Structure 1
Amino acid sequence: MESNYPSKTDQPAYPPDTPLNAAGMPAETEPEYVFQENKRDYKHSGPGIASFIIALVTVIGYAISFVYAGMQATTILSGSNDVINDSSQAIMLLGLTVLILAAVNVIGAVTGIIGLTLRRRKKVFAIIGTVINAVILILFMLLIATVLVNAGA
Structure 2
Amino acid sequence: MNEPFEKDEQFANRGPFSPAPGHVAPLKHSGLGIASFVLSIVGFLSFIVLTIVIISLLFQAIDITQIVDEYGNRLMSDEEIVDKIQPYIGYMILYPLLILLSIVGLILGIVALTRPGYKKVFAILGTIFNGLPLLFLALLLLAGLAGAGA
Query: What is the TM-score of this pair, normalised by structure 2?
Result: 0.68
Q: Which residue of 2 aligns with 1:83?
A: 81
Structure-to-structure mapping, 1:48-59, within 5 angstroms: 48-59=33-44
Distance 2:63 2:107 in 1: 43
Q: Which residue of 1 aligns with 2:131?
A: 134
| AA at the equivalent of 2:27 | Y
Distance 1:73 1:63 in 2: 16
Distance 2:145 2:96 in 1: 15
Q: Which structure has the larger Rg?
A: 1
| AA at the equivalent of 2:130 | N
Q: Is the 8 A contact 1:72 1:90 kept in 2?
A: yes
Unaligned runs of 5+ in 2: 1-17, 67-75
Query: What is the TM-score of this pair, normalised by structure 1?
Result: 0.67
| AA at the equivalent of 1:123 | K
Per-residue CA deviations over 1:69-123 (Å, capped at 9, x if unaligned) read: 11022113328595322324435522x1111110110010000001101111000
RMSD: 2.6
Does residue 1:34 correspond to 2:21, yes or no?
A: yes
Q: Is the 8 A contact 1:47 1:126 kept in 2?
A: yes
1:116 paired residue among 110, 113, 116: 113
Query: What secondary structure sits across from 2:124 in the alignment?
Result: helix
Q: Which residue of 2 aligns with 1:102?
A: 99
Unaligned runs of 5+ in 1: 1-30
Q: Is the 8 A contact 1:76 1:83 kept in 2?
A: no
| Count of aligned pairs | 120
- Percent identity between matched residues is 28
Q: Taking structure 1 as reference, are residues 76 and 144 closer, same or farther at Cα in structure 2, changes over 3 Å only?
A: farther
| AA at the equivalent of 1:50 | A
Query: What secondary structure sits across from 1:37 in the alignment?
Result: coil
Distance 1:147 1:91 in 2: 22
Q: Which residue of 1 aligns with 2:47?
A: 62
